[in-house]
Structure 1
Amino acid sequence: MHFAVIARVFGILLTIFSLTLLPPIAVSMWYADQTEGAFATAFAITLVTGLLVWVPVHNARADLRTRDGFVITSLFWAVLGTFGALPFYLSAQPELSITDSIFESISGLTTTGATVITGLDDLPASILYYRQQLQWLGGIGIVVIAVAILPMLGVGGMQLYKAEAPGPVKDAKLTPRITETAKALFLIYVILTVLCIFGFWWAGMTLFDAVGHGFSTVANGGFSTHDASMGFFADNQMIMLVSIFFMIAAGTNFGLHFFAFTNRQFLSYWKDAEFKFFMLLMACFSAFVIFYLWQFHTYELEESIVHGTFQAVSVMTTAGFTSDNFSVWPTFLPFVLLLFGFAGGCAGSTAGGIKSIRVMLVVKAGLRELNRLVHPNAVVPIKLGKKLVPTKVTEAVWGFFAVFLFSFVILVVAVMATGVDFVTALTTVGSCLNNLGPALGEASSHYGDINDNAKWFLMFAMLLGRLEIFTLLVIFTPAFWRH
């Protein structure tokens, strides 16, 4: 383990992150909301800390190993969340405790969207902007962004990219060099963000709301500048349509975007097995929600189509926006919505959840086992499209499911042990582990009423989900620290 090199990278990344605290200062000065002091103090603390960590080891030179990458990725998200909490804690509004400040920061960076803040419509503009910016940074992954910069500073980034990039096959690169890969991902992300902002502005949002919701939509984060979330714009169907389109785009594998636009082969979307499965599952889910809302007379048919489609897409992509308070929807529908959040979007996207490709492989593996019961000697390979899936990938997916389920159960029990009721514990853990946001019970409106001990467990769940379980859990294994 190269601790000096790890500290050097840590110092560089923390210093870079401090620069992201400058735009909110400009917003605060533009709107004269008197919070620039809090952001300036947070900037100074973060910058000085980064430099203090970097200076003693700035001459350390060595290639990062895979284990180094896991340590940097895991710890940096936790530390970043802590320093990102400084503006919330130092600002006079919204007047948060240390626990709530860190919760809000980590929720933003992990694109979970679970909030402890109420009265968003009355908050300073700079705080509202900062929340949205946190989600935008978290969406692409601050580590992947840094991969494009670190090679110029003499630090290799392949190990960081392996630890950060989501999906069952993490070694696949879009371009031969990791720096070019990071730049390609970042460019796609920026282009989608700009188009989304313009789409919201054109559809009728103010420029401030368009920027804020553009950040969180492309990040599939779910933070909003209004307490009613997207329900604030529910009467404007064009805004809802723009939101649906970009939630789906952000929930699609960015590698697929890269190949489609680079090669001008837009039919490649429909040739991708995971994308087709993702869209089919979303279409069926949307139709079910629409039918259920209409049958139970929750809304008229047109409203059922709008709310049903929007909420189904928002949950499947783990964006977590709400068009209405779905916790009061009839019978078991709220639980079904949260259940589909476990599936999540495509691998290599900003969406959370288990990922559609894993769900698809598990379904295929389950059907194969059923077939084997009838035909014990049959050889039934698992394929994605026309490609044969290696056995080690299938085994890895089953392993992920097992660890995911085990982590979910343990965290639910832990949260309940703090005094939280079963429904709240079950839905908040599931929501945080899937980086979804909305929950039921005490957290149906916000997470502010949950006790502090439970919030720390939920923060751990957010980090687990953001780093896809193994990246974080592996550093807790004894084998990881053995030479």
Structure 2
Amino acid sequence: MTQSARTVLFALGVMLSALSLGMLAPALADLDHDGASAHAFFGSAMLGLGAGGIMVLLGRSPEHRLTARSAILLTAGAWAVLAFAAALPLKLSGMEISWTDAIFETTSGLTTTGATVLTGLDDLPRGLLLWRSILQWIGGIGIIVTAMAIWPMLGIGGMQLFRLENSEKSEKVLPRAGQIALAVLLIYLALTFACFLAYLGAGLGAFDAVNHAMTTIATGGFSTRDASLSAFAGTNADLVAALFMVLAGLPFVLYVRAAQGRPDLLLTDVQARGFLMVIAAFAALLTLIITLSPEIAHDSAKPAWRLALVNVISILTGTGYASADFWAWGGASAAVFFMLMFIGGCAGSTTCSVKIFRYQIAFSALTSYIRRMTRPNMVAPVRYRGTVLPPETVRSVFVFIFLFFATFAVSAVLLSFTGLDTVTAISGAATTIANVGPGLGDIIGPAGNFAPLPDAAKWIMTVTMLIGRLEVLVVLVMLTPGFWRR
């Protein structure tokens, strides 16, 4: 076994063991309420710890080295292995659920997509609901660490701009990558706890508050209720969710910088500022649409701006909470939400989709190209954050955007072949590649569910969720023959 293979096996074993330990929390939650569910989690935890321990022993080495190929294998393998292991207690819990549905649900959880095949959430065992939230919380912190530590090394889609270590000492947030990871974890924990307290203050019970705190900070969107945020219509839970979804959509490194005395960066950073401007623009547009369309059936107890703001932030960040059935708001609103799916939040956050910085770089590049077309002798470099970008960085951004939308198109065509109608196929492809959660239409819209879909469609969406969460190229490069050659 090669050194890089040992590293991958060791890391996967550690992750599987950690996930298995996490199963003890829902087991304890169900101990006095649902014996079958508790036993399923205890049994799955023991199996996972045994398998993870064997992988750690087989992969142990005095020195662990991570090459580009092993980093790709580790990233893709981690999500696939953990999704399968996480599905085991769902299958053993006594619920009438197929392996297809179980793996779809756990993949949706770990990728923080939020699409669900489960119904009757209000009556499910508390342990199962807690497990879904834990999966999203793990996926949220996992994607931040991956985006900060692995993707910049691979130069995927311009992510090399966000390296943990920089040759210029002044650009280092902290002197070591491990310190940054620890700082980000502490901030993640602090935001989760603050969100929990805010939900309590808004009127939610402790169990609902802790679950929604985890899925809000992870921008995942799993809820303990079938009606999502609509179930708490008499509270201010929607405003709490909106605030913390925005906080989770900002780059977590900026919180580290804020703790070091630069809180101004949370508003002045070019990516953060662009993110907030997109929220303001689309919220204003949707407020206008709702206000000028009296036929739109919406909750009259809440003003149009509030409905618009909460749902815009939810879809933009890929959280997927719904405080209303926005599919019933008409075609103009549906078009707005469809566009939001393809934007996303900031790099280095828990959000998904294309992300703000890539659109900013693409706009800068297109502006530069147009200026050079009109004045061929002009020197018009592509800049981002005041720095001239090398051509390979700009090229990687355009390659990512092209492959992202190409994957979306292929996925939509494949879903249509499974018998889905046009709206369901297109929005299903969009919401899974962008890891948003709810789609559009009567089946998978904000008031719907993914359970009625055929198994073939669910497997396509499962793969699409992984491709989208792993920044497209991580999965697609594994399909090339050259990747597997020595």
- TM-score, scaled relative to structure 1: 0.92
Alignment of 1:289 with 2:292, yes or no, is no
Q: Which residue of 2 aligns with 1:171?
A: 163
Give, as a single letter, the amino acid of the residue that structure 2 aligns with 1:21. Answer: M
Structure 1 residues 164 and 109: alpha-carbon distance in aligned structure 2, compared to 1, 3 A threshold: farther
- Measure, in 1, the Cα distance between the counterparts of 2:18 and 2:143: 10
CA contact (8 A) 1:15 1:50 kept: yes
- Measure, in 1, the Cα distance between the counterparts of 2:176 and 2:62: 23
The Cα of 1:473 is off from its aligned counterpart by 1.8
Q: Which residue of 2 aligns with 1:130?
A: 131
- Measure, in 2, the Cα distance between the counterparts of 1:266 and 1:86: 43
Structure 1 residues 57 and 245: alpha-carbon distance in aligned structure 2, compared to 1, 3 A threshold: closer
Q: Which residue of 1 aligns with 2:113?
A: 112
- Measure, in 2, the Cα distance between the counterparts of 1:402 and 1:159: 22
The RMSD of aligned alpha carbons is 2.3
CA contact (8 A) 1:222 1:437 kept: yes
- Measure, in 2, the Cα distance between the counterparts of 1:209 and 1:448: 23
The superposition leaves residues 39-89 of structure 1 with CA deviations (integer Å, 9 ceiling, x where unpaired) of 112112211222233334435744222211110111111111011011111
CA contact (8 A) 1:42 1:86 kept: yes
CA contact (8 A) 1:88 1:101 kept: yes
Q: Which residue of 2 aligns with 1:16?
A: 18
Q: Give percent identity, aligned residues only.
A: 34
- Measure, in 2, the Cα distance between the counterparts of 1:33 and 1:405: 46
1:306-321 matched pairs, under 5 angstroms: 306-321=306-321
Q: Which residue of 1 aligns with 2:449?
A: 446
Q: Which residue of 2 aligns with 1:459?
A: 462
Structure 1 residues 36 and 161: alpha-carbon distance in aligned structure 2, compared to 1, 3 A threshold: farther
- Measure, in 1, the Cα distance between the counterparts of 2:271 and 2:58: 47
Q: Which residue of 1 aligns with 2:414?
A: 414
1:128-167 matched pairs, under 5 angstroms: 128-141=129-142, 144=145, 162=153
The superposition leaves residues 301-329 of structure 1 with CA deviations (integer Å, 9 ceiling, x where unpaired) of 95211111100111111111100111111
The Cα of 1:453 is off from its aligned counterpart by 0.9
Give, as a single letter, the amino acid of the residue that structure 2 aligns with 1:253. Answer: P
CA contact (8 A) 1:19 1:43 kept: yes
- Measure, in 2, the Cα distance between the counterparts of 1:114 and 1:280: 27
CA contact (8 A) 1:144 1:160 kept: no
CA contact (8 A) 1:112 1:221 kept: yes
The number of equivalent residue pairs is 470
The Cα of 1:449 is off from its aligned counterpart by 0.8
- Measure, in 1, the Cα distance between the counterparts of 2:157 and 2:373: 34
Runs of 4+ in structure 1 displaced over 6 angstroms? 163-167
- Measure, in 2, the Cα distance between the counterparts of 1:326 and 1:143: 30
Give, as a single letter, the amino acid of the residue that structure 2 aligns with 1:172. Answer: L
CA contact (8 A) 2:144 2:349 kept: no
The Cα of 1:378 is off from its aligned counterpart by 2.6
Q: Which residue of 1 aligns with 2:266?
A: 269
- Measure, in 2, the Cα distance between the counterparts of 1:166 and 1:219: 22
The Cα of 1:183 is off from its aligned counterpart by 0.7
Give, as a single letter, the amino acid of the residue that structure 2 aligns with 1:282. Answer: I
SS of 1:141's partner is helix
SS of 2:450's partner is coil
1:187-202 matched pairs, under 5 angstroms: 187-202=186-201
Give, as a single letter, the amino acid of the residue that structure 2 aligns with 1:71. Answer: L
Give, as a single letter, the amino acid of the residue that structure 2 aligns with 1:54. Answer: V
1:40-439 matched pairs, under 5 angstroms: 40-59=42-61, 61-93=63-95, 95-141=96-142, 144=145, 162=153, 168=159, 169-173=161-165, 174-236=173-235, 238-263=236-261, 265-297=262-294, 298=296, 299=298, 302-439=302-439
The superposition leaves residues 263-321 of structure 1 with CA deviations (integer Å, 9 ceiling, x where unpaired) of 2x221222211111111111000000111011111245952111111001111111111
Q: Which residue of 2 aligns with 1:151?
A: none
The Cα of 1:361 is off from its aligned counterpart by 1.4
Give, as a single letter, the amino acid of the residue that structure 2 aligns with 1:479. Answer: G
- Measure, in 1, the Cα distance between the counterparts of 2:184 and 2:154: 16
SS of 2:31's partner is helix
- Measure, in 2, the Cα distance between the counterparts of 1:172 and 1:465: 23
The Cα of 1:212 is off from its aligned counterpart by 0.4
The Cα of 1:208 is off from its aligned counterpart by 0.4
- Measure, in 1, the Cα distance between the counterparts of 2:357 and 2:329: 30
Structure 1, gaps ≥5 residues long: 148-156
Structure 1 residues 142 and 376: alpha-carbon distance in aligned structure 2, compared to 1, 3 A threshold: closer
Give, as a single letter, the amino acid of the residue that structure 2 aligns with 1:66. Answer: A
Q: Which residue of 2 aligns with 1:150?
A: none
- Measure, in 1, the Cα distance between the counterparts of 2:373 and 2:154: 38
CA contact (8 A) 2:316 2:340 kept: yes
SS of 1:473's partner is helix
Structure 1 residues 6 and 18: alpha-carbon distance in aligned structure 2, compared to 1, 3 A threshold: same
- Measure, in 2, the Cα distance between the counterparts of 1:377 and 1:82: 57
Q: Which residue of 1 aligns with 2:170?
A: none
SS of 1:114's partner is coil
Q: Which residue of 1 aligns with 2:168?
A: none
- Measure, in 2, the Cα distance between the counterparts of 1:348 and 1:5: 24
The Cα of 1:13 is off from its aligned counterpart by 2.1
Structure 1 residues 143 and 41: alpha-carbon distance in aligned structure 2, compared to 1, 3 A threshold: farther
Q: Which residue of 1 aligns with 2:484?
A: 481
The Cα of 1:158 is off from its aligned counterpart by 5.7
Structure 1 residues 223 and 167: alpha-carbon distance in aligned structure 2, compared to 1, 3 A threshold: farther
The superposition leaves residues 332-369 of structure 1 with CA deviations (integer Å, 9 ceiling, x where unpaired) of 31132022121100010000110000011112222333
- Measure, in 2, the Cα distance between the counterparts of 1:384 and 1:5: 35
Give, as a single letter, the amino acid of the residue that structure 1 aligns with 2:139. Answer: G
- Measure, in 1, the Cα distance between the counterparts of 2:162 and 2:482: 21
